[in-house]
């Protein structure tokens, strides 16, 4: 009798354990399948500083950023571990777990040192535009030298998983989707719709063509852009009328309300990129992809890579302390809440995994900082290059030894140096001595000798990680904190590219299937994102990955 009672007790405990398992995991285990989410959704908000998760939180709703923080796991101390911090490298690094030294994306634009030609990160003249007559579709992931987490999912499922990338910026769609993607779509200002390239397809799917007809840019812009709340309540921002912000062409000042219908009529569809409606447009396209491609509706895990490009356009124009930025994030919070609700209904709550991160952050506006008595400055790279070339000519007798200071790196005229049999090491040493006397420059470092340079260890590591000998300059320039490149002494808006926390500290939040709610403040690198997803999916890390999974986030 006691044995029977004990068996019943154990059966009851087993029953409770089974009930506690997620429904999908139960079903997968019963069928002998490896438990995985139905869908993984990656969201990269371009230029989203980490502090934006909290800066406007008093007016965030419960279904967007707060839902992710409440139900998900946040790595609060995630930083970019390379220099320079720009869009293309950020997207490539998030999805490869690697760095420019290995994955080869050394900037949005970079110089091929073997030819001296400037390369665009996603440029590819071997492919043609699909969906437009413009050249905006001559893009592919060909310049990316390693696999992505999306490629690895394809390999792990014998290419049965469906992978799609969507972003207004081509690089924000193409690099995350990887080499083996089913599709990548990006925005074409000329046609005013979503396009692709022959790398992926020969013709747009019918649903994309239909979306382009029905979800016109004009529809999003027709009612103008005004604040969600009374202007006087935007207390986290500078006054609406100030000298820190850049205005739209044809307007008198960067102030609300903004007549986006007029801007569209006079300037074309591209204006949507610099409004919060670019986020709405992108997430509506993402919903359409989920629906029409049946993503998360099949017997294998799919991956949707979404990049929200508008925060970067708005940030560059207005800077991080503008009402426009605050209002855009309040609107994005609502858009994300609606997107999560859509995924709950279409895929199933708890059946998908979503992560949020950013490709880089942004500095405070130089003028704003100075007016608040904080150290900051604008560095004129053009004037510096001219002065450096003049200095080197005096020493070595040749003009234009420096061809570019792109990405805060000195690129030399390799062909001229070789032809004239000049001593490169002496040229680099002379350049470094000169640059370190210039206002605003903290360090100038020989990239090939970074590990022995007298700079802080964190900078040595980031310089090394960012250096690709085939695609990077020879000397890395590090500016003083709060300095950035500008041709104006009192620039408007902002930019990024540096190692400092305002550019390098990014959000990394996961939510949904397989994610344990919580947070950590231990150091996490951008290169740890892809390994975390690989551990979640139980697949191989990308082939250039140098990161490690954030195991605390995983059930």
Q: SS3 of 327, please?
A: helix
Q: Tell whether domain 377-485 is in CATH 3.30.1360.150.
A: yes
Kindly name the residue from 78, 87, 129, 411 that is annotated as catalytic. 87
Q: SS3 of 298, please?
A: coil
Three-state SS annotation for 423-441: CHHHHHHHHHHHHCCCCCE
Paired with 358 in beta bridges are none
Q: Which CATH class is domain 39-365+505-553?
A: alpha beta
Q: Which pLDDT belongs to residue 28?
A: 54
495 is catalytic: no
CB 170 within 8 A of CB 123: no
What confidence tens digit (pLDDT) does each residue in 30-61 have? 556 799 999 999 999 999 999 999 999 999 99
* Arithmetic mean of pLDDT, 274-280: 98
The pLDDT of residue 25 is above 70: no
Residue 257 and residue 254: Cα distance in Å, rounded? 9
Paired with 45 in beta bridges are 308
First-to-last alpha carbon distance for the chain, in angstroms, is 38
The pLDDT of residue 454 is above 50: yes
Reference 493, options 398, 364, 371, 381; nearest CA is: 364
What confidence tens digit (pLDDT) does each residue in 199-234 have? 999 999 999 999 999 989 999 999 999 999 999 999
What confidence tens digit (pLDDT) does each residue in 515-543 have? 999 999 999 999 999 999 999 999 999 99
Cα distances from 331 to residues 186, 235, 278, 328, in angstroms, run 22, 16, 11, 5
User: Regarding predicted confidence, which is higher, 15 or 33?
Assistant: 33
Q: Enumerate residues 6+ apart whose C-beta is below 8 A from 186.
A: 136, 139, 166, 167, 168, 169, 170, 172, 173, 174, 194, 195, 196
CB 279 within 8 A of CB 332: yes
Q: Which pLDDT belongs to residue 8?
A: 54
* Arithmetic mean of pLDDT, 467-477: 97
Q: Which pLDDT belongs to residue 12?
A: 47
What confidence tens digit (pLDDT) does each residue in 351-388 have? 999 999 999 999 999 999 999 999 999 999 999 999 99
pTM over 0.85: yes
Q: Which pLDDT belongs to residue 31?
A: 59
For the chain, give the mean pLDDT: 94
Do domains 39-365+505-553 and 377-485 share one topology? The answer is: no
* Arithmetic mean of pLDDT, 482-504: 96
CB 318 within 8 A of CB 493: yes
Reference 328, options 312, 311, 308; nearest CA is: 311
The pLDDT of residue 7 is above 90: no
Reference 221, options 271, 176, 256; nearest CA is: 271
Tell me the CB-side half-sphere exposure of residue 107, using CA atoms within 13 A: 22
Residue 349 and residue 340: Cα distance in Å, rounded? 9
Strands 193-197 vs 183-188: parallel, antiparallel or unpaired:
antiparallel
What confidence tens digit (pLDDT) does each residue in 386-444 have? 999 999 999 999 999 999 999 999 999 999 999 999 999 999 999 999 999 999 999 99
Would you list the domain boundaries of the chain? 39-365+505-553, 377-485
Q: Which pLDDT belongs to residue 33?
A: 79
Helices (H) and strands (E) in the chain, counts: 21, 21
């Amino acid at each position: 009798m006691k044995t029977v009672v004990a068996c019943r007790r154990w059966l009851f405990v087993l029953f409770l354990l089974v009930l506690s398992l997620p429904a999908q995991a139960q079903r997968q285990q019963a069928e002998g399948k490896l438990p995985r989410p139905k869908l993984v959704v990656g969201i990269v908000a371009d230029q989203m500083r980490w502090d934006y998760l909290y800066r406007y939180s008093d007016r965030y709703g419960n279904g967007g950023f707060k839902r992710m923080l409440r139900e998900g796991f946040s790595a609060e101390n995630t930083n970019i571990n390379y220099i320079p911090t720009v869009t293309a490298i950020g997207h490539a690094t998030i999805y490869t777990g690697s760095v420019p030294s290995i994955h080869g994306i050394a900037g949005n634009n970079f110089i091929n040192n073997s030819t001296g030609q400037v390369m665009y990160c996603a440029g590819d003249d071997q492919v043609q535009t699909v969906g437009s007559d413009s050249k905006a579709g001559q893009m592919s992931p060909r310049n990316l030298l390693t696999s992505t987490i999306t490629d690895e999912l394809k390999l792990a499922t014998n290419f049965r998983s469906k992978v799609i990338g969507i972003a207004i910026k081509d690089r924000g769609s193409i690099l995350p989707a990887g080499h083996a993607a089913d599709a990548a779509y990006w925005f074409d200002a000329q046609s005013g719709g979503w396009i692709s390239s022959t790398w992926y397809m020969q013709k747009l799917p019918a649903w994309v063509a239909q979306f382009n007809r029905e979800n016109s840019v004009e529809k999003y812009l027709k009612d103008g852009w005004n604040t969600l709340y009374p202007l006087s309540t935007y207390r986290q921002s500078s006054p609406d009328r100030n000298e820190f912000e850049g205005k739209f062409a044809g307007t008198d000042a960067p102030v609300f309300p903004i007549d986006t219908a007029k801007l569209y009529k006079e300037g074309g569809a591209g204006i949507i990129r610099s409004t919060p409606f670019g986020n709405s447009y992108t997430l509506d396209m993402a919903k359409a992809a989920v629906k029409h491609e049946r993503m998360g509706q099949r017997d294998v895990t799919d991956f949707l890579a979404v990049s929200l490009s508008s925060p970067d356009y708005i940030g560059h124009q207005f800077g991080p302390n503008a009402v426009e930025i605050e209002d855009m994030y309040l609107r994005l919070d609502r858009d994300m809440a609606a997107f999560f609700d859509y995924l709950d209904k279409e895929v199933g709550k708890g059946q998908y995994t979503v992560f949020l991160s950013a490709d880089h952050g942004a500095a405070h506006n130089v003028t704003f900082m100075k007016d608040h008595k904080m150290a900051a400055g604008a560095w004129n790279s053009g004037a510096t290059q001219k002065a450096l070339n003049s200095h080197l000519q005096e020493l070595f007798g040749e003009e234009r030894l420096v061809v570019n200071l792109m990405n805060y790196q000195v690129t030399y005229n390799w062909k001229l140096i070789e032809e004239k049999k000049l001593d490169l090491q002496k040229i680099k040493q002379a350049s470094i001595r000169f640059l370190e006397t210039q206002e605003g420059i903290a360090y100038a470092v020989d990239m090939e000798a970074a590990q022995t340079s007298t700079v802080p260890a964190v900078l040595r590591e980031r310089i090394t990680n960012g250096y690709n000998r085939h695609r990077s300059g020879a000397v890395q320039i590090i500016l003083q904190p709060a300095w950035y490149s500008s041709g104006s002494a009192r620039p408007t808006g902002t930019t990024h590219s540096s190692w400092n926390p305002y550019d390098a500290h990014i959000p990394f939040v996961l939510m949904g299937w397989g994610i344990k709610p919580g947070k950590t403040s231990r150091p996490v690198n951008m290169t740890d994102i892809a390994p975390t997803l690989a551990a979640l999916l139980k697949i191989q890390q990308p082939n250039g990955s140098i990161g490690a999974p954030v195991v605390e986030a995983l059930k």
